[in-house]
Amino acid sequence: MKPVLFQIGSFQIYSFGFMIAVGVLVGLYFALREAKRKGIDTEMLYNLAMGLVISGILGARIFYILVYNLDYYIQNPAEIIMLQHGGLSIHGGLLGGFIFGAWFIRKHKLNFWVLADTVAPAIALGTAIGRVGCDVFGVPMSKPWFWGVNVKGQVLHPTQLYEFVLDYFIFFLLWRFRQRTRFDGQLFLIYIALYAAARGIVEFFRYNPTVGGVISVAHLASLVFIMAAAVVYFWLGRSGNKQLSVKDRGLTLQTSALDLFWVQLSLVLLAIAVSVAIYYGLGYGPVEAI
């Protein structure tokens, strides 16, 4: 999508900000729906979710500035607050959200892992929708394949598209698995590992500072996230942090149409199709294959 979605006088609505807002709202709906199923106070979860959004954006900005382009922002300090010009790191966003979430949960004496599992699918879905509006494209294609985007005369990899497609499937897997976990925290840690892996794949098609060959700083960050998630996963699985069943929580497990495999898969594929149509329809447009 083009950076500016539409303009009213001198007031501009940016595509990335607009899609992030849509992603937050949709993700919040699913988080509240899951909280209600688990018997969690929805008002408390709403406050947590709003804090996660704000801390996630701050973390994403600070991480990007410190890791990717510190010299530029030292020379241009006014640009630090210009979020509309881009410059957010998903790894920093996850880290910022994690820090705030840990503080909030400790303050209110809540179960961190239960709440983390509750919001994990919503984070994946919100991230997918938000990525549709991102205007940070990838490296030039070796050939102008039909899914490429023409930006200033160059045919580039639509890395936003690669990422939101992967994010939608991560959401699908998490939503399918959420009623089958063996211990609290399992779903959240699976999300961290899957997202870091997906981000690492997409990174091969993006420009970012490298540490050697095609390995970038973002690859190292993804590797750290995967390793940390794996260590905690096996620690929780062996420490007896078992998840209470729906029955133990005093709830009744009901299977609705939205819990059927083919219904869920069809809805995810529809969401991908709509996102692709928005991405190309309101953006730079695909190129013709040769």
Could you list the residues known to form a binding site, using ranges. Answer: 131
Which residue intervals of 69-158 are DSSP H helices?
Answer: 70-75, 90-107, 112-131
Any idea of the CA torsion for 139, 140, 141, 142, to the nearest 10 degrees? -110
For residues 115 and 118, give the distance between their C-alpha atoms in angstroms, rounded to a whole number: 5
CB atoms within 10 A of CB 263: 12
How far is it, in rounded angstroms, from Cα 122 to Cα 84?
24
How far is the C-alpha of 284 from the C-alpha of 269, rounded, in Å?
A: 22
Q: Crossing angle for the helix pair 186-203 and 217-238, nearest 10 degrees?
A: 160
Of the candidates 98, 101, 83, 68, which has an alpha carbon nearest to the alpha carbon of residue 18? 83
Please name the residues in contact with 147: beta carbons below 8 A apart, sequence gap of 6 or more: 158, 161, 286
Beta partners for residue 140, in sequence order = 156
Query: Strands 154-156 and 11-14, how do they pair?
Result: unpaired
5: which 2 tokens? 């979605």
